[in-house]
Structure 1
């Protein structure tokens, strides 16, 4: 992964914010303070400090104020800060094993996703992270990605034919969408709304909350619950920091972290459900996508991208992870 150089000004700002308790944990993340991630981290801060009798001092830097996901990942890797989190797709260039999560329709539902990531599948990913100097703490949840468009409900494989959609500038993603007849157009995130508004594209795919936050609902008519990929936000620490904690500190931190992940997932489910209700009130037509259609889409897409994923993660890792499903 290529990181941009962390600015001296930001570094000095971070240094001046340090309060030297026995063990300081500085956590930087890119989401706003209203997000389930930040709210759950406030729980982590309060409970870890209280239950350690002040042995830990937790400092949270929200909204990307310390830097981008890539920048703070580098800061954690070199030990300048202790923790951060990022979507698996943003971390896959430094930990290639994350690419396995790019498999379409990998999980049937959030319960299965949680069982795998909280079990051996997640342990496999955490082990891979350790080779890069990270200690996996837990898997926050963003939920499943779904489609919005202004052409028609996406309720069959054929309905994707010719669909002009925004795609990330990722060869695997572009190949995936082309395999089902869609017409992906690589666009930056900030270009989606205007492209929808001007009719340059018919639709886009994202988490439900993004459809509301980015106001895509103003220029879209339909939301189709494809649930084609599950987005996890990986919470991790600097491994050397973790290794230098006492066994009691590690046990307490793990205990509070587990509670934090559970709270974040509860808040995310509520946010996604509330967003769905809001989109209905805004007049969007929402449809469930039949299971057989999802299966057909998954078979076509994964046949196209499977070899590329295996090349990135290795055949053994791929087979072992799939066994966890």
Structure 2
């Protein structure tokens, strides 16, 4: 074969080879990669649920959408990830609703002390029209809310005595989150509320700088507070939700089918995460009892007394989020409680 002819043939073969590879390459380019950030580690309830969501997205999209779950706050704390979503630099995340209050004031509804009596009430409100109404407010700020996950009810521990009634909080030096609602609430209930970063809490309990603290069972166990706390009172004084968020800039560019894949996967992960979290919480409570903590449950009548004492705090929240939203929520809860 002449050199010129040989070169022509080789060039033709190479072109055909590239042409054959082109569809595969194009298909790879079309795969949508979703960076999904969360704060806890991979072995946590957040991490397990993120994997459920990731698998559901890959399966429903036939591999055309891939969610990269990135935990341990590797993409930054909740506030940093929220800003990344607003700017379009990150696609999705799950995090606390409490850190969204500065972005969307209606999110303060979920900070209300004794808002929910149980998880059934929380599920019904969060998954219903009220929860959706609060989430929809995020779109004005560049975020899209998909579903709520569960962090859990917060409960009291201390070293002085069991909290069985309102008066038992009098003078208790209680560490609270650096959040004005929490500070004002516990001061109103008679405690000596002391704001401290979580990182300083164990040491403060150990040195008796504070008498007690409040957190979900899972956190009390994993943080080994049972080593420095004697009494655990099941007060369920605040229910803390997490929320799955998407960047609106990014979300608006998705097709209807892609949005459905993500929403369906978020719902499946929510249902898994709530069940997982509740089972983990029940096991944590049993573990805390086996480790010697003295456990009591606050009677409904005493919870009602505390709720009544917080009327002024609740009035401030109602004013902040808007009276119509507050009234709608209270009416929905009253109807469920009949």
TM-score normalised by the chain length of structure 2: 0.87
The Cα offsets for residues 229-276 of structure 1, whole Å up to 9 and x where unpaired, read as 001011110123222221122222211211110000111011101100
Q: Give 5+ residue unaligned stretches, structure 1.
A: 1-18
Aligned counterparts, 1:1-325, within 5 A: 21-301=30-310, 303-325=311-333
**Deviation (angstroms), 1:188:** 1.2
**Deviation (angstroms), 1:106:** 0.5
Q: CA–CA distance in 2 between the matches of 1:20 and 1:125?
A: 36
**What secondary structure sits across from 2:93 in the alignment?**
strand
Q: CA–CA distance in 2 between the matches of 1:148 and 1:292?
A: 20
The Cα offsets for residues 257-301 of structure 1, whole Å up to 9 and x where unpaired, read as 111100001110111011001101110011111000000001112
Q: Bigger radius of gyration, 1 or 2?
A: 2
The RMSD of aligned alpha carbons is 1.4
The Cα offsets for residues 199-251 of structure 1, whole Å up to 9 and x where unpaired, read as 11110001111111111110000100000000101111012322222112222
Check the 8 A contact 1:209/1:275 in 2, yes or no. Answer: yes
Runs of 4+ residues deviating >4 angstroms: none
**Deviation (angstroms), 1:321:** 3.1
Decide which structure has greater helix share.
2
**What secondary structure sits across from 1:176 in the alignment?**
helix
Check the 8 A contact 1:141/1:232 in 2, yes or no. Answer: yes
Aligned residues: 306
**What secondary structure sits across from 1:226 in the alignment?**
strand
TM-score normalised by the chain length of structure 1: 0.91
**Deviation (angstroms), 1:21:** 4.4
Q: CA–CA distance in 1 between the matches of 2:282 and 2:198?
A: 23
